[in-house]
């Protein structure tokens, strides 16, 4: 039997094959099994902030990380700061019951930043948690508490707001909701970007019955879906007129990824009542969620002796706050927002050109800042041959595309609500030459696999059979 390792042994001696075996035994083994069959399970060693090395010594450009790695892995400036913080920081631990200079400074900084673009938020307040889903849970509570007589939430098709129970109510994906959802909210899901449908539904339900509208300014897990900016303004104006709360889920788009600090405000022209942040706020090192709410909304739930009505143990802990603050410094000092806009435009053009080289492989591309998506043609054109239903066909296509890009030397992201759309979310700090090289690699891959069918036929038969067996019989 294998001997367990101490933390120090793991630190000093990464045993790659062991990690996969242990995860298969004790973790989310089916996920690791699928990734292992696909040859993308890792684990990976950090080469530099933008590249990872697998156990065979192959080095890939990292455009994965699901928008949660804004600076890249082990970004020297952030790491140096964290080491100093751990050695010299005066306040550490979980100071929930007292003021903390780290928490206070991050609260101040977030509101200062927000107020620059949305002056009405000057006295807003921040509630910290430990993930995007939790930031959404707090947003739900603020909303229902503020409008107790309004039972409905409006969300939009293909949205992703997380998988904790409240957040799952607002993530309208039957695959995730089936079996696992205990409806806790009355939710009406509308097509995204359709102003007329929105107005009609507000009139049909009655504005007094609607507590809040939740939206991602650009939908990430839907495969980078960009609504018309007029739609966002229409939602904002309609909600303002009727007192319905607007909740901007900026968990993926916020703090730079979209090329804006707050895409809903700066690009969408909105002034949302509640804003949820997470992913990049953890600097790629830790997990921090934040829910920013207007003062009256915040105070109604947490005012006076009600201050304890929403709490958690780890939210706002000093280490997470210090990392968040330093990450904001780096985003600002290194002008990463401007960089995301500039590189975003170049990347969008490159991806479009790659799709044009292989229209039978990539049928559409979408990009917004440093959020890129390529939508792949289904591996089998009809629903029922070989791989059966459309969903399986779609999942297989996405997995094969991930494998193809992995082989080409680029790590990318699956999309939870759009399986055929594979996303690139490189660090905002990625050097220009590496950014160019990443698209060069994708171009070579596209020329080698001119159609999705080729992705399948270029995959070893053994792997395809294993994947099919896994999908159909596990
Ligand atoms: C827009 C959006 N909201 C919420 C979430 C949930 O965040 P978490 O996975 O940290 O719970 C995600 C995660 O991908 C997201 O993209």
CA nearest neighbour of 415 among 30, 66, 43, 168: 66
Q: List pocket residues of ligand 1, CB cut-off 6 Å.
A: 66, 131-133, 136, 160-162, 216, 220-221, 249, 251-252, 278
Q: Whose alpha carbon is nearest atom 13 of ligand 1?
A: 162
User: Where does 100-228 show beta strands of DSSP type E?
Assistant: 125-129, 152-156, 186-190, 210-215
37-46 core/surface letters (b: 16 or more CB in 10 A; e: else) = bbebbbebee
Q: Can you give the pLDDT of all 474 residues of the chain as single tens digits?
A: 777 887 888 777 765 568 888 888 999 888 999 999 999 999 999 999 999 999 899 999 999 999 999 999 999 999 999 999 999 987 777 766 789 999 999 999 999 999 999 999 999 999 999 999 999 999 999 999 999 999 999 999 999 999 999 999 999 999 999 989 988 999 999 999 999 999 999 999 999 999 999 999 999 999 999 999 999 999 999 999 999 999 999 999 999 999 999 999 999 999 999 999 999 999 999 999 999 999 999 999 999 999 999 999 999 999 999 999 999 999 999 999 999 999 999 999 999 999 999 999 999 999 999 999 999 999 986 555 554 577 788 889 999 999 999 999 999 999 999 999 999 999 999 999 999 999 999 999 999 999 999 999 999 999 999 998 888 887
Q: How many angstroms separate the CA atoms of 372 and 422, rounded?
A: 8
- The H-or-E segment that residue 356 falls in is helix 336-357
Which CATH number, 3.40.640.10, 3.40.50.720, 3.40.50.261, 3.30.420.40, labels domain 81-333?
A: 3.40.640.10
Domains of the chain: which residue ranges? 44-74+336-473, 81-333
How many angstroms separate the alpha carbon of residue 193 from the centre of ligand 1?
20
Q: How many angstroms separate the CA atoms of 282 and 92, rounded?
A: 17
Q: How many angstroms separate the CA atoms of 200 and 206, rounded?
A: 10
Q: How many angstroms separate the CA atoms of 459 and 440, rounded?
A: 21
Sign for the pseudo-dihedral over CA of 234, 240, 244, 245: positive
How many angstroms separate the alpha carbon of residue 15 from the centre of ligand 1?
30
User: Which DSSP state fits 32?
Assistant: H
CA nearest neighbour of 337 among 423, 257, 250, 391: 257
Q: Which atom of ligand 1 is nearest to the CA of 289?
A: 10
Q: How many angstroms separate the CA atoms of 71 and 255, rounded?
A: 12
Which residue is it, tokens 């060069």? Answer: 440
How many angstroms separate the alpha carbon of residue 469 from the centre of ligand 1?
30
Q: Is 145 exposed, middle or buried (0-12, 13-18, 19+ CB in 10 A)?
A: middle
How many angstroms separate the alpha carbon of residue 171 from the centre of ligand 1?
10
How many angstroms separate the alpha carbon of residue 160 from the centre of ligand 1?
7
- The token duo for 208 is 């007094």
The predicted model scores a pTM of: 0.96
Q: Whose alpha carbon is nearest atom 3 of ligand 1?
A: 161
Distance of CA 90 to the CA centre of its chain: 33
Which CATH number, 3.40.50.620, 3.40.50.300, 3.20.20.80, 3.90.1150.10, labels domain 44-74+336-473?
A: 3.90.1150.10
């Amino acid at each position: 039997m294998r001997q367990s390792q101490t933390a120090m042994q793991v630190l000093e001696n990464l045993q790659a094959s062991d990690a996969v075996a242990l995860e298969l035994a004790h973790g989310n083994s089916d996920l690791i099994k699928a990734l292992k069959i696909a040859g993308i399970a890792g684990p990976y060693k950090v080469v530099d902030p933008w590249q990872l090395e697998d156990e065979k010594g192959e080095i890939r450009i990292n455009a994965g990380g699901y928008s949660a790695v804004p600076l890249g892995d082990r970004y020297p400036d952030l790491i140096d700061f964290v080491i100093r913080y751990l050695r010299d920081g005066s306040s550490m631990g979980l100071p929930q019951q007292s003021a903390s200079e780290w928490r206070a400074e991050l609260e101040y900084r977030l509101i200062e930043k927000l107020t620059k673009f949305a002056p009405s938020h000057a006295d807003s307040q921040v509630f910290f948690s430990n993930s995007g889903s939790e930031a959404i849970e707090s947003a739900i509570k603020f909303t229902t508490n503020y409008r107790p007589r309004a039972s409905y939430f409006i969300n939009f098709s293909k949205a992703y707001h997380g998988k904790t129970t409240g957040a799952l109510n607002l993530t309208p994906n039957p695959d995730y909701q089936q079996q696992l959802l205990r409806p806790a909210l009355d939710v009406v899901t509308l097509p995204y970007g359709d102003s007329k449908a929105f107005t009609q539904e507000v009139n049909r339900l009655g504005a007094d019955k609607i507590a809040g509208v939740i939206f991602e300014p650009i939908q990430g897990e839907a495969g980078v879906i960009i609504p018309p900016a007029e739609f966002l303004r229409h939602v904002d104006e309609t909600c303002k007129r009727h007192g319905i709360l607007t909740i901007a889920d900026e968990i993926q788009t916020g703090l730079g990824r979209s090329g804006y600090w707050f895409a809903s405000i700066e690009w969408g022209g909105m002034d949302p009542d509640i804003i949820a942040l997470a992913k990049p706020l953890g600097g790629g090192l830790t997990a921090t969620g934040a829910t920013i709410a207007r003062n009256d909304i915040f105070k109604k739930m947490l005012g006076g002796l009600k201050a304890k009505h929403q709490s958690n143990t780890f939210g706002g802990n000093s280490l997470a706050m210090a990392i968040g603050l330093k990450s904001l410094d780096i985003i600002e000092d290194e002008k990463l927002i401007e960089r995301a806009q500039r590189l975003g435009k170049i990347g969008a053009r490159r991806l479009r050109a790659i799709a044009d080289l292989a229209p039978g492989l990539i049928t559409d591309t979408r990009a917004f800042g440093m959020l890129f998506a390529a939508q792949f043609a289904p591996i089998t054109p009809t629903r029922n041959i070989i791989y059966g239903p459309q969903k399986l066909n779609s999942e297989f296509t996405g997995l094969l595309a991930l494998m193809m890009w992995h082989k080409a030397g680029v790590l990318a992201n699956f999309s939870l609500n759009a399986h055929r759309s594979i996303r690139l979310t490189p660090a905002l700090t990625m050097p220009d030459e590496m950014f160019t090289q990443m698209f060069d690699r994708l171009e070579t891959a596209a020329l080698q696999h001119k159609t999705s069918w080729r992705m399948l036929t270029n995959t070893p038969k053994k792997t395809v059979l294993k994947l099919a067996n896994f999908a159909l019989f596990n």
